[in-house]
Structure 1
Amino acid sequence: MKKVIKMREMSDNQEGIIRKISATGDMGRRIREMGLVPDTPVQIQGRAPLRDPVAIKIRDFTLTLRSDEASGIWVEVDVPEHQS
């Protein structure tokens, strides 16, 4: 089953497809300039000990995002039936 969640809610190593950028202003522009746009596949690579920042793999490179930036990115992920 598919579900759209905020990127900050994704688990380590979880993959998904960016569906929406809700961040606005300078933050939204910065996110888009980094290549984080709808229909782009992403994977969570890991997090710092306090869960901020988060490392993501996009295309062939790794980016780090602050938690507030990851909150403005909505990603479609596969969710097992028992977790919906």
Structure 2
Amino acid sequence: MFSLFYGLWKYLFTKTEFHVLILGIDKAGKTTLLEKLKTVYLNMESLPHDRIVPTGGLNIGRIQVSNSKLVFWDLGGQHARVLIG
């Protein structure tokens, strides 16, 4: 009996998690794609295109679609710039 309830619990509340790595050359639109995906699936407002800066490191976006979790890793190609003021 326990295994029946455990299986039902697991089926209802466990989400399959997928990790997606977004790679590409500089200024290919990787961060823009991630922002657009967040806009479509999370119903949140996206950054305007002129406010998206080159990624110096990585951006992580999490999106939940039906019974799955998608974790996007936007790996930037820009070198980190240190401003000394």
TM-score (norm 2): 0.24
Q: Which has the higher helix share?
A: 2
Higher Cα radius of gyration = 2
Higher RCO structure (Cα 8 Å, ≥6 apart): 1
TM-score (norm 1): 0.24
